[in-house]
Chain A
Amino acid sequence: MVHATDGGWLAQWAWLIVVVPFLAMAVIVFFGKRMPRKGAEVAVAAMGFVFVYAAVLLILNITQGVIYEHSVQVAQIGSVSIEWGWVVDGLSTMMYFVVGTLSFLVFTYAIGYMKGDVRVTWFFAAFTFFAGSMLVLVSAPNLMQLIVGWEGVGLASYLLIGHYWEEKENSSAGMKAFYTNKIADIGLIIGAIVLGTAVGSFRYSDILDAAASNSSVLVPVAVLAGVLLFIGAMGKSAQFPFHVWLPDAMAGPTPVSSLMHAATMVTAGVYLIARMYPLYAGMASDMRVLIVIIGAITLLIAGLLAIVQDDLKRVLAYSTVSQLGYMVAALGAGGYTAGLFHLWTHAFFKGLLFLTAGSIIHAVHSNNMSDMGGLRKRMPVTFWSFTSASLALVAIIPFAGFFSKDEILATLGHSGYTWAMWIGILGAFITAFYMGRAMFLTFFGTYKGDAHVHESPAVMAVPMAILGVASLVAGWVNIPGVYEGFHHWVAVRAITFPSFASEGFDVPVMLTGLGFAIVGVIVAYVAYFRDADTQFARDRIRIPVLWPLLEHKYYLDDLYLAVLVNPIKGPIARAVNWTNSYIIDGIVNGAGVVARLVARFVYGDLDQKGIDLAVNTAAIVTGSAGEQTRRLQTGKVQQYAAMTVAGAVLLVIAIVIFT
């Protein structure tokens, strides 16, 4: 059992982590334009707060362990209760820390990167909204709130990818991301509904309780729910075949790519599976092989795609997809700690890689590596940060990625997915190859462009340096056999599962992986280092069939375009338009026509002939009564006298008779 406290007032006030970014967003929206830095200072301050609070919570979890959950009912729909709350436990404190640290550093970097941009205030508002939504997602104690946060980060992604929407392809990229995610979200939502209706509640604690105790209500739906939720995770975490949006998402500004599409948003899928792990480890474990397959396929094909890219950010994007494949495969194989550990280290070094890419792009004014080269001397901080992160990514000891990737490979091997392990080792070779290629083409040789290249300002350089150090040390929190802190941290949760221990040092696997990685670097060196000057060395290793296939991304995008997009744009859209114009509009117009007829009837018959007749008759009767009564006023005095006498006489007679 896990020993933990309830976190005291720190956990009770943890909702501030979620709320402060939204408050900051409101301040930026209303007052940002008038501020000296256009709202950026508010955003950074908010993220700083989040970072500090998250660090405190992490320390609390490390020292004492904390399990806390609080929900308030927000609405009641039939028998379904919609709740809002927050969770503080091992998994969520780790995520808070990742989000908080990366957000704080990337926001600071963005102050420098977005300087002079046409929409700085809007950018920071959307970015802060993203951070808030991500925190909603990871703090959610129930599936409904998770979906709210999920959609929120999806929206933020769309907005920020399309930040430079003046170019059509940028807004198209945003839409592509949104649509791909939305299709995958079908799985998430249906899965959530399936689980919620089976268990009767959307709360994690109720669902995972039922899962952990093999409850009979979940028996028919557990595997189905597992598959559906995984489909949702595939969308957000860019697994094959939903990975197509991530490379195009590089159209957004680099801070966005760093924070959202490397460190945080894309990890939401991984987080979801980790959160629902009692389900995946127990009742839904039959479908986990599917997860491993998808993860393995993803890591392989994405790695291959990274080799042929000219755009530096796209290399990193495919690298991200590949690494996400590693995380997903690890989780599928039962490696709860392994997958999360790689998420942790990947956030630091991949986030850094994007920041350095942004630094280079900012200096060179081009994304393409064919315009770069020889930047090592001119941008030293960038170069060394890039190197540190690359070594972490390639998984060279003692950098961070080594420990996490090794753990994954060991997990895959030990849980019977040996074929996946070998794919992972091959992937290590590929990773080393494309990162080596990227480094040599960018920083070595001679500079092929004509911009005035200089190092980035301090506001950008300092976060890079910090992350550079992190890329080295982040892995040291879980050294098997020496210090297994991370494993213990993330195991602190209310509902546990058959425990998968942190894998020990599996020396053969470790050495094999390391060896493949080093080989990859050497091959890249051979291929690109020496001839980086004279000729773009891609031509040399251009394998005839494989290269065009890779360049066209396996023709997947074309397939999607032909099968999904064009049918919808063409015939389906036309059919829907016809239905709308003739059937739906016909009904609405028909209602209008009916209303007109009714109105005509009401006006003509009811009102004019009926009611007006009554009213006019009353008026006419009154008028004629007046006309008749008028005749009394003849002006003839004798007539008046006659009437007076008659009246008096009658009155007297009446008195005489009745008294």
Chain B
Amino acid sequence: MSLVQFLVLGAFMFSLGVYGLLIRRNAVMVLLAIELMLNAVNLNLIAFEAALRTAFAGGQIFAIFVITVAAAEVGIGLAIVLLIFRNRRSANVDELDVMRW
């Protein structure tokens, strides 16, 4: 197996995540796209770990951390979306533009 194939796949997932980040209107869908990006990162990490074979499994541990942080981030993100939904009765990101000129 070549490393490149994993990287390309990861890049694909990442690009799709970027696409979703930029076009989705629903805040939850944006968060989903972000999760996709993080997943791509994980894939990269593990692929490199497998290619480099460090003695201390750094890539895998890093990936574990990413997963953990992603989980925390999703928790907080959804809490915020919840609050916004409570205040505004809508999760449409287009309407969240108070901090502007």
Interface residue ranges, A against B (CB under 8 Å): 630-631, 633-638, 641-642, 645
* B93 interface residue (CB < 8 Å to A): yes
> Are the C-beta atoms of A633 and B100 separated by less than 8 Å?
yes
Q: Place the interface of chain B in its size category.
A: 10 to 19
> Are B93 and A638 neighbours in the complex by a CB distance under 8 Å?
yes
Contact of A634 among B21, B23, B100 (CB under 8 A): B100
Q: Please, how many angstroms separate the alpha-carbon atoms of A638 and B23 in the complex? A: 8
Using known A-B contacts A641-B22, A645-B22, determine if residue A636 contacts B101 with beta carbons closer than 8 Å: no
Q: Which residues of B contact A638 (CB under 8 A)?
A: 21-24, 30, 93
CB nearest neighbor in B for A643: B22
In the complex, residue of chain B having the shortest beta-carbon distance to the beta carbon of A631 = B101
Q: When the two chains form their complex, are residues A635 and B99 in contact, meaning their CB atoms are under 8 A apart?
A: yes
| Nearest A residue (CB) for B30 | A638
Chain A residues within an 8 Å CB radius of B21: 638, 641, 645
B4 at the A/B interface (Cβ < 8 Å)? no
Please give me the residue from chain A that is nearest to B23 by CB atom: A638
Q: Are A636 and B97 in contact (CB under 8 A)?
A: yes
Tell me which residues across on chain B come within 8 A of A635, comparing CB atoms. 96-100
Residue of B nearest to A630 (CB): B101
Instruction: Say whether B70 faces chain A, with CB atoms less than 8 Å apart.
Output: no
Residues of chain A contacted by B22 (CB below 8 angstroms):
638, 641-642, 645
- B-chain residues with CB within 8 Å of residue A636 when the two chains form the complex: 93-94, 96-97, 100
A636 to B100, CA, bound (A): 8
- Mask of B14-33 contacts with A, CB within 8 angstroms, 1/0: 00001001111000001000
Which A residue's beta carbon lies closest to that of B99?
A: A635
CA A315 to CA B97, docked complex, whole Å = 114
User: What residues of B have a CB within 8 angstroms of the CB of A645 in the complex?
Assistant: 18, 21-22
Q: List 6 extra interface pairs beyond A635-B100, A636-B94, CB under 8 A.
A: A634-B97, A635-B96, A635-B99, A636-B96, A638-B22, A638-B93
Cα–Cα distance between A469 and B64 once the two chains are bound (Å): 137
Cβ contacts under 8 Å, A642 to chain B: 22
Give the distance in Å from the alpha carbon of A62 to the alpha carbon of B23 in the complex.
Answer: 126
In the assembled complex, 28 residue pairs joining A and B whose CB atoms fall closer than 8 Å, in A order, are A630-B101, A631-B101, A633-B99, A633-B100, A633-B101, A634-B100, A634-B101, A635-B96, A635-B97, A635-B99, A635-B100, A636-B93, A636-B94, A636-B96, A636-B97, A636-B100, A637-B93, A638-B21, A638-B22, A638-B23, A638-B24, A638-B30, A641-B21, A641-B22, A642-B22, A645-B18, A645-B21, A645-B22
A162 to chain B, nearest CB (A): 84
Nearest Cβ on chain B to A651's Cβ, whole angstroms: 15
Q: Which residue of chain A has its CB nearest to the CB of B98? A: A635
In the complex, what residues of A have CB within 8 A of residue B97's CB? 634-636
Nearest A-chain residue to B97, judged by Cβ? A635
Residues of B55-101 contacting chain A, CB below 8 A: 93-94, 96-101
Inter-chain CA distance A344–B23, complex, in Å, is 125
Asked whether, in the complex, the Cβ of B96 is within 8 Å of the Cβ of A637, the reply is: yes
Q: Which residues of A contact B23 (CB under 8 A)?
A: 638
Interfacial chain A residues near B94, Cβ < 8 Å? 636
Query: Which residues in A have their C-beta under 8 angstroms from that of B24?
Result: 638
Please report the C-alpha to C-alpha distance between residue A645 and residue B15 in the assembled complex, in whole angstroms: 10
Rounded to whole angstroms, the CA-CA distance of A642 and B94 in the bound complex is 14
**Within 8 Å CB of B18, what residues of A?**
645
- Chain B min CB distance to A240 (Å): 101
- What residues on A are CB-neighbors of B96 within 8 Å? 635-637
A227→B96 CA distance, assembly (Å): 110
Distance of B34 from chain A, by nearest CB (Å)? 10
B100 CB contacts on chain A under 8 angstroms: 633-636
B23 CB, min distance to chain A CBs, angstroms: 8
In the complex the two chains form, what is the Cα distance from A630 to B99 in whole Å? Answer: 12
Using CB atoms, name the residue of chain B closest to A634.
Answer: B100
Minimal beta-carbon separation of B72 from chain A (angstroms): 19
How many angstroms from the CA of A641 to the CA of B30 in the assembled complex? 11
Q: What CA separation (Å) do A230 and B85 show in the bound complex? A: 118
Chain B residue with the shortest CB-CB distance to A642: B22
Bound CA span A635–B100, Å: 4
Binary interface encoding of chain B residues 33-48 relative to chain A, with 1 for a CB under 8 A from any of its CBs, else 0: 0000000000000000
**Distance in angstroms between the alpha carbons of A532 and B26 in the assembled complex:** 141
How far apart are A416's CB and chain B's nearest CB, in angstroms? Answer: 116
- Min Cβ gap A427→B in Å is 112
**Chain B residues with CB below 8 A from A637, complex form:** 93, 96
Bound Cα distance A635, B96 (Å): 7
Nearest CB in chain B to that of A636: its residue: B97
| Alpha-carbon gap, A634 to B21, bound state (A) | 17
Residue among B24, B93, B98 with max Cβ neighbours from chain A (10 Å)? B93
Cα distance, A642 to B19, chains bound together (Å):
9
Chain B nearest CB from A127 CB (Å) reads 87
Docked complex Cα distance between A170 and B18 (Å):
112
- Chain B residue contacts of A641, Cβ below 8 A: 21-22
Give chain A nearest CB distance to B66 CB in angstroms: 19
Residues on B with beta carbons closer than 8 Å to the beta carbon of A630: 101
Q: How many Å lie between the Cα of A642 and that of B23 in the bound state?
A: 9
Residue among A633, A634, A638 with max Cβ neighbours from chain B (10 Å) = A638
How distant is A84 from chain B, measured CB to nearest CB, in Å?
A: 80
Residues on the A chain within 8 Å of B93, using CB:
636-638
A residues in contact with B98, CB < 8 Å: 635
Instruction: Tell me, rounded to whole Å, the shortest Cβ–Cβ distance linking A414 to chain B.
Output: 118
Complex-state Cα separation, A112 to B96, whole angstroms: 107
A633 to B99, CA, bound (A): 8
**Chain B residue at minimal CB-CB distance from A648:** B18
> Which residue on chain A has the smallest CB distance to residue B18?
A645
Query: Quick one: closest A residue to B27, CB to CB?
Result: A637
Interchain CA distance A631-B18 in the complex, whole Å: 23
Bound-state CA distance A631–B24 (Å) is 21
The listed residue with most A CB atoms (<10 A of its CB), out of B18, B24, B98, is B18
Q: Given the complex of chains A and B, what is the CA–CA distance between A545 and B55 in angstroms?
A: 154
In the bound assembly, the distance between CA atoms of A635 and B98 in angstroms comes to 6
Which chain A residues border B101 with CB–CB below 8 Å?
A: 630-631, 633-634
Q: How far is the CB of B54 from chain A (nearest CB, A)?
A: 26
Can you name the residue of chain A whose Cβ is closest to the Cβ of B34? A641
Complex CA distance for A638 and B30, rounded to whole angstroms: 9
Taking CB as reference atom, which chain A residue is nearest B95?
A: A636
Cα separation A634 to B18 with both chains bound (whole Å) = 20
Q: Kindly state the separation between the CA atoms of A389 and B98 in the bound complex, as whole angstroms.
A: 117
Tell me how far the C-beta of B100 lies from the nearest C-beta in chain A, rounded to whole angstroms: 3
CB distance from A296 to the nearest CB of B (A): 109
State how many angstroms separate the Cβ of B96 from the closest Cβ of chain A. Answer: 7
Residue of A nearest to B19 (CB): A645
Name the residue on A nearest B93 (C-beta). Answer: A638
How distant is B44 from chain A, measured CB to nearest CB, in Å? 15
A645 to B19, CA, bound (A): 10
In the complex formed, the residue of B with least CB distance to A649 is B18
Give Cα distance in the complex from A633 to B97, angstroms: 9
